A and B are shown apart, each in its own frame.
Chain A
Amino acid sequence: MTIQDKIQALEELFEADAGTITPETALDTLQWDSMAMLSLIALVNEKFGKRLNGQQLKALKTIQDILAVME
């Protein structure tokens, strides 16, 4: 997945308009609720075969933090 693909997947996850999310976007400006967390766990598991735990989720503050686990 290229960085553009990842950003696009996150825009879909947050139901945000295309081009509105950048690595600098803070998660508290988006709808970062429990459903978004479940969607992220699912996305990371499906595309990268990783298991995210609660502590890792709580540590996420920006889109850049999420991009760092999407590898």
Chain B
Amino acid sequence: MHCSSIRHISYSLPDKILTNADLASLYPGWTEAKILEKTGISQRHVVTDTETAGDLAERAAIKLFDEHQIDPQTIDFILLATQSPDYFLPTTACMLQHRLGIATTAGALDFNLGCSAYVYGLSLAKGLIAGGIAANVLLLTAETYTKHIHPMDKSARTIFGDAASATLISVAETERIWQFQLGTDGSGFDKLIVPAGGMRLERSSKTALEITDDSGNTRSQDHLFMDGTEIFSFTITTVPRTVKETLEKNGLKMENIDLFVFHQANKYMLDFLCKKCKIAPEKFYMNFADCGNTVSSSIPIALARAAKDGTLKPGMKVMLVGFGVGLSWGATIITW
């Protein structure tokens, strides 16, 4: 069995910015300060009408190649996590093979997961390397949730931002990606959903009908719906259990972990999880004030930033935990 390791991470944020002042001007009764206090987010980067997840992923991959002098021809597998693909078909990862100048001998596939996707992507990359199928896996995450969100859905628009990340996972001398603890509960499929637009319910004038809910959020079935209270309730019960199970599976204790990088959902949720999991705040990394909740890119962006600002040092053991839409969750430990 071959061992694997994360070699490099880069990320890309779209240029356009949505500030708290922009949101406060749209939603009566809201102030910039209140939005920042409740979410820990001061601005989000959002795509324009003509930018896609494929474009963001391409930019993140090119940054990875440039920043770390990587020859695209050495990549032999592309994994792309997205729920906003450029087309129903073909696969966005296949188009990226050509756009990035990666050899036609490389494998490529998309997989449809959200906030848990990065951890799942690492598990797939580890499996491909362990099985001798690939030696250099390019794991891409790219999401444009803002395209799914109604402009007057206050809660979703405040939280989510668009982004992409690129991670190179390569065959290594020693194993630096530990065991995974994964989980799924499809009974909660409708707690975070875009109801119309797929084959189950095609878009129509009926699905485009706008409804304003009790909290004053407007959306139609063509838009993203998030039941915030249900997602919060799911998270605060599932994540602490997953942290414990991941430690047990890897034969480690809390004190063996040098840094915890959870999906960067929002400040309120993360503060609660940090306390509930009894993690020392200095070991609990949060860095999303300028980009919001970037779904599948939130963990790799946090890792790249922690490495850059000196929080994350070589040799550290880091626990990664992703959780959200599906409902789906996953955790692992990496040695940086």
Contacts and interface: CB of A to CB of B under 8 A. Distances in A.
A52 interface: yes
B229 A35 contact: no
A38 B237 contact: no
Contacts, number: 35
A59 to B, nearest CB: 13
Nearest to A35: B38
B272 interface: yes
Contacts of B272: 42
A33 interface: yes
Contacts of A33: 215
B183 interface: no
Contacts of B233: 41, 45, 51-54
Contacts of B276: 45-46
A37 interface: yes
Interface string B232-273: 110011000000000000000000000000000000100010
Given A46-B276, A51-B237, A38 B215 contact: no
B38 to A, nearest CB: 6
B236 A42 contact: yes
Contacts of A45: 233, 236-237, 276
A54 B230 CA distance: 6
A26 to B, nearest CB: 15
B154 to A, nearest CB: 9
Interface in A37-67: 37-38, 41-42, 45-46, 51-54, 57
B229 A57 contact: yes
B237 A34 contact: no
B202 interface: no
Interface residues of B, number: 14
A33 B216 CA distance: 10
Given A34-B215, A35-B38, A54 B237 contact: no
A53 B237 contact: no
A54 B236 contact: no
B229 A37 contact: yes
Contacts of B230: 53-54
A53 B155 CA distance: 18
A9 to B, nearest CB: 15
Nearest to A57: B229
Contacts of B228: 34, 38
B227 A41 contact: no
Nearest to B266: A38
Nearest to B216: A33
B153 to A, nearest CB: 12
Interface in A8-51: 33-35, 37-38, 41-42, 45-46, 51
Given A41-B233, A42-B272, 14 more contacts: A34-B155, A34-B215, A34-B229, A35-B268, A37-B229, A38-B228, A38-B268, A41-B229, A41-B236, A46-B276, A53-B230, A53-B233, A54-B233, A57-B229
Q: Which 9 pairs between the two chains have the least Cβ-Cβ distance?
A: A37-B229, A54-B230, A41-B233, A38-B232, A51-B237, A42-B272, A34-B215, A45-B236, A54-B229
Interface of A: 33-35, 37-38, 41-42, 45-46, 51-54, 57
Interface of B: 38, 155, 215, 227-230, 232-233, 236-237, 268, 272, 276
